[in-house]
Structure 1
Amino acid sequence: MNRAATLIATMMGVGYIRPAPGTWGSLVALPWGWLLHVLGGFPLLLLGIFAGFAKGWWATAIMTKGSADHDPSEIVVDEVVGQWIALLPLSYAAWSMGINILVMWPGWIAAFLLFRLFDILKPGPVGWADRRGDALGVMLDDVIAGIFAAIGVLILAGLYHGVLA
């Protein structure tokens, strides 16, 4: 098997941590997402998402080629990309207002929990993407779950800042 593909798909071995490798993948995405934001703000996190998606799709295709299991649990690069998408509203707000992204720590918790919820339950289009049975579907289900989580983060922030403030 291609070593580079394995390192990318498993996020340097994080996908082999048990139990719940997907949750570990989402957790490891948080400090990496923070680092991307600190180094280059919202634009670098967005670029990281696109690069992670492309590399993840390639690595997943390599790792699953000829296998009956289209989405092995050790592949967690998709969770990283999805979790970064869930963080986008926080990154944009911090970047555009020039504030420390860690000040929005409740949003980080919401982004993590909402992403895990949508990734596990696989509602609607998340489940559709997962059922594709190919490397693109492996990546897309987490992209869609990340979009749902990002929308949830925006709704919660709006409620907190608009209704509860």
Structure 2
Amino acid sequence: MPTITPRPPHRFLLAHPAHFLALGAGSGLSPMAPGTVGTLWGWLAFLVLQLWLSPGALGLLIAVALPVGWWACTVTARHLDVADPGAIVWDEIVAIWLILWLAMPMGFVGQLAAFALFRYFDAAKPGPVAWADQLFKGFGWRGGLGIMLDDLVAAGCTLLVIALWRHFLP
């Protein structure tokens, strides 16, 4: 049975730049379903970012967000003294950015389906997502990578389903 970790106090959010990033600008402090709230925040942020950034610039932003997020998740987990705190949602944010960046253009229904598929793969952790979730546990560089990796595998599973959907149901 998973251990339920307490939500960090709001002052923790601004105590270090890594906290602000890892906690998704506060979206991870949601009292209910922080992963879902973080993913929603990421979806909204992507929609706003694509108004100003070209697809290439969005790709560069995602490429930079991955190692910066690895660092932020590592630092924040260590400061919370929890290997994979639920309040850390940067992994969900970057994963939904990656999904939307690779799957766009699509309308609201397609984006909603991508969101729902990703949340399913991230929460239920079937097959390869569970494997990735267990691969790197603990603190230090491995812990930050472990926090990010299962969400990236869930993003890959989501993209696979979208690709199959587009191929077989054009």
How high is the TM-score relative to the length of structure 2?
0.80
- Point out the more displaced range, 69-78 or 145-154: 145-154
Root-mean-square deviation (Å)? 1.8
What is the CA distance between 1:66 and its match in structure 2? 6.8
Q: In 1, Cα distance between the equivalents of 2:63 and 2:57?
A: 10
| Partner of residue 145 from structure 1, selected from 151, 154, 159 | 154
Q: In 2, Cα distance between the equivalents of 1:45 and 1:145?
A: 20
Q: Does 1:3 align with 2:22?
A: no
What is the CA distance between 1:67 and its match in structure 2? 5.8
Name the counterpart of 1:156. 165
Name the counterpart of 1:61. 74
* Residue ranges of structure 2 left out of the alignment (5+ in a row): 1-11, 138-142
How high is the TM-score relative to the length of structure 1?
0.83
* CA distances 1:54-84 after superposition (whole Å, capped 9, x unpaired): 1211011111227652110110000001111
Name the counterpart of 1:23. 36
Q: Percent identity?
A: 34
- Following TM superposition, where does structure 1 have runs of at least 4 consecutive aligned residues deviating by more than 6 angstroms? none
* CA distances 1:130-157 after superposition (whole Å, capped 9, x unpaired): 1121110110111111111112122222
Q: In 2, Cα distance between the equivalents of 1:35 and 1:157?
A: 25
How many residue pairs get aligned? The number is 151
Select the structure that is richer in helix: 1
| Partner of residue 58 from structure 2, selected from 19, 26, 45 | 45
Counterpart residue identity of residue 144, structure 2: A
